């Protein structure tokens, strides 16, 4: 199904945009400039970035440079974040964008205040626990992901506008100029995007006409290095720049989104114009815990990331990890056991706290976690079972829901010392594969449990009208003993995000690694099952020792996308994940 904007409306928006700006040209990110080094064994060389005033680390050089320019023009971290996200939607469309959702932390340095913003997608009001069931049985996940059924109300635009109204400095419309110009003038297809298209990372890619025409012009996949434009997306951004979030959630764009979802005849959804118009991003209190002399803070429900990362850290706090090398059997074993315990609690208790009573304080209660830590021994514990944290309803049942790795994260510290940590996603690579006005729609509702109950008890993360699905996205910040912002970090990676972020935090806080080395360190992860070791890295040297401790070990690709910044005595230091094509830069 192909949906286009009427010519009269296109002309109106062009005139309006011209009045707003003088077609700002992005000279320092010329589309003709080769900006991606070659992959070597699936990695791009990354060098620790250094700066004295401000820094941006994101999943693509275009986005990083756009964020820096906004700060140079007098903008702050949230201003830069809007420019970064819009560019990422354009150049990394498989991972995030305005058709998806996000979680973010914002640090107001002048007022020493941390807050978090929930831009997670919501289920349509017509959806219920049978959304992913057919003939009384759960759908196959691969059948559910494409088309309209799994599309939730997108939250990115509402979240960014809400944050900007509270904290932004530059005019809203100014923050879209780089993305509009790049969409019109052209950008270079990255090796990551080119490979994702060529390999059809999402098997449904190209099923729908708009998606096929954009990613497979003349029937051939766009190759890395190709100069690509997206005039439809430029038009969409012009409308949002002029009208604000209401230009997305009401009117033509909203109606086109609803039509695309409901008219996907092979797998239609239940989204309504009312669902779009009534969406609200929510400012929430962050979740924080002490880890030795640091305060570590993340995002609370409906993401499980903040609580589960904090549990892993607290379970390991008294294990004296510093006595072991970061890449050692001992460290990997202890980390995996803490992760098993934390993921067990995650599966049972974590869901949208607006619908389910989540024992937030109980899950990070020191006494509770000290008792849980006693379950960690010299041998692998097998599959961990959930505990009984204080004030928890223990009748909830555990249920798994697949989460895919195609997400993005960026970290920012501005001239005033404000910080922004944002993880953003459309779920599976290329989301639902439905494309509307130049951007892809999410398939985030597949993060719900497909079942309503288990053994007669309700599942916390079941589908309910207006509910936000559980996530693993884990934007984090770390503060020193004087409440100064010290670190900003996060990653894509599906349900393994929690492992990636926790291990990187330990790299900096426990093993005194610089941020780039902590990000680049080979991965070992556990989600209460096998211990995964990162393929083609030194992590595979741990296999024999872990198996001797009873681990079931898998060797596989572990495609994180960590992007972080650390404030040191010498200034700011930034890192970007060599497993993707990002860049950390500053001044």
Catalytic residues: 407
Read off the tokens for 356.
């389910």
Query: 528: Cβ–Cβ under 8 A, 6 or more apart, which residues?
Result: 339, 340, 343, 344, 347, 383, 384
Q: How many CB atoms lie within 10 A of CB 96?
A: 30
Residue that has been written with the tokens 């995007």 in this structure: 193
Separation of alpha carbons 297 and 285, rounded Å: 10
- 3-state secondary structure at position 492: coil
Separation of alpha carbons 259 and 3, rounded Å: 9
In DSSP terms, 477 is beta-bridged to: 297, 488
Query: 318: Cβ–Cβ under 8 A, 6 or more apart, which residues?
Result: 370, 373
Task: Please state the three-class secondary structure of 358-414 as a single string.
Answer: CCHHHHCCHHHHHHHHCCCCCCCCCCCCCCCCCCCCCCCECCCCCCCCCEEEEEEEC
Geometric angle at alpha carbon 106, from 288 and 304, rounded to 5°:
45
Pairing assessment for the beta strands 553-556 and 531-534 based on DSSP bridges? parallel
DSSP 8-state secondary structure symbol assigned to residue 39: P
Ramachandran category for residue 482: left, alpha or beta (phi over 0 → left; psi -120 to 50 → alpha): alpha
Separation of alpha carbons 292 and 26, rounded Å: 45
Helix H or strand E segment including 83: helix 77-91
Say if residue 178 is exposed, middle or buried (CB neighbours under 10 Å; 0-12, 13-18, 19+). Answer: buried
DSSP 8-state secondary structure symbol assigned to residue 1: -
Residue 440: name the closest of 166, 174, 147, 36 by CA. Answer: 147
Separation of alpha carbons 99 and 427, rounded Å: 10
Separation of alpha carbons 535 and 416, rounded Å: 41
Query: 576: Cβ–Cβ under 8 A, 6 or more apart, which residues?
Result: 46, 49, 57, 58, 59, 516, 519, 562, 563, 582, 583, 584
In DSSP terms, 476 is beta-bridged to: 489
In DSSP terms, 464 is beta-bridged to: none
Residue 63: name the closest of 298, 408, 462 by CA. Answer: 408
Separation of alpha carbons 352 and 444, rounded Å: 14
Question: CA–CA distance from 450 to each of 133, 352, 395, 478 (Å)?
Answer: 7, 15, 19, 35
């Amino acid at each position: 199904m192909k949906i286009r904007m009427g010519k009269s409306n296109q002309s109106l928006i062009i005139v309006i945009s011209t009045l707003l700006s003088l077609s700002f040209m992005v000279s320092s990110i010329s589309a003709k400039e080769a900006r991606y080094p070659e992959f070597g064994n699936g990695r791009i060389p990354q060098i620790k970035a250094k700066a004295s005033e401000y820094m941006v680390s994101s999943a693509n050089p275009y986005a990083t440079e756009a964020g820096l320019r906004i700060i140079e023009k007098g903008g702050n971290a949230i201003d830069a974040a809007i420019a970064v996200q819009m560019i990422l939607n354009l150049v990394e469309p498989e991972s995030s964008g305005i058709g998806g959702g996000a979680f973010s932390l914002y640090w107001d340095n002048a007022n020493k205040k941390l807050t978090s913003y929930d831009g997670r997608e919501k289920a349509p009001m017509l959806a219920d626990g049978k959304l992913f069931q057919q003939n009384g049985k759960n759908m196959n996940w691969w059948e559910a992901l494409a088309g309209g059924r799994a599309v939730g109300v997108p939250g990115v635009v509402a979240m960014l506008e809400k944050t900007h109204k509270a904290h932004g400095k530059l005019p809203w419309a100014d923050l879209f100029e780089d993305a509009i110009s790049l969409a019109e003038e052209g950008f270079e297809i990255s090796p990551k995007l080119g490979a994702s298209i060529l390999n059809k990372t999402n098997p449904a890619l190209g099923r729908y006409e708009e998606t096929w025409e954009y990613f497979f012009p003349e029937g051939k996949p766009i190759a890395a290095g190709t100069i690509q434009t997206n005039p439809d997306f430029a038009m969409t951004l012009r409308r949002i720049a002029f009208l604000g979030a209401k230009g997305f959630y009401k009117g033509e764009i909203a109606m086109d989104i609803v039509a695309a979802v409901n008219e996907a005849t092979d797998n239609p959804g239940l989204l309504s114009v009312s669902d779009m118009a009534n969406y609200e991003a929510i400012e929430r209190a962050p979740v924080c815990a002490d880890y030795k002399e640091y305060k570590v803070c993340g995002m609370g429900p409906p993401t499980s990331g903040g609580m589960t990362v904090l549990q892993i850290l607290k379970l390991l706090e008294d294990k004296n990890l510093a006595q072991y090398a970061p890449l050692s059997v001992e460290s990997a074993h202890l980390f995996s056991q803490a992760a098993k315990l934390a993921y067990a609690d995650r599966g049972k208790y974590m869901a949208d706290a607006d619908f389910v009573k989540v024992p937030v304080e109980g899950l990070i209660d020191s006494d509770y976690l000290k008792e849980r830590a006693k379950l960690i021994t010299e041998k692998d514990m097998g599959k961990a079972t959930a505990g009984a944290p204080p004030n928890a309803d223990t009748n909830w049942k555990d249920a798994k829901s697949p989460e895919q790795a195609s997400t993005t994260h960026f970290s920012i510290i501005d001239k005033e010392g404000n910080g922004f940590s944002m993880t953003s996603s459309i779920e599976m690579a290329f989301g639902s594969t439905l494309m509307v006005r130049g951007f892809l729609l999410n398939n985030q509702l597949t993060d719900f449990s497909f079942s309503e109950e288990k053994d007669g008890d309700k599942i916390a993360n079941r589908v309910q009208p207006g509910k936000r699905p559980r996530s693993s996205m884990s934007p984090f910040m770390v503060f020193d003993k004087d409440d100064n912002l010290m670190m900003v970090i996060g990653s894509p990676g599906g349900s393994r995000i929690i492992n990636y972020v926790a291990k990187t935090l330990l790299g900096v806080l426990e093993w005194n690694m610089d941020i780039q080395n902590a990000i680049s360190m080979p991965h070992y992860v556990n989600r209460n099952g096998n211990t995964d070791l990162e393929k083609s890295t030194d992590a595979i040297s741990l296999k024999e020792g872990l198996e001797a401790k009873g681990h079931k070990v898998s060797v596989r690709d572990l495609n994180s996308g960590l992007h972080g910044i650390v404030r040191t005595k010498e200034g700011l230091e930034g890192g970007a994940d060599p497993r993707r094509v990002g860049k950390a830069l500053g001044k």
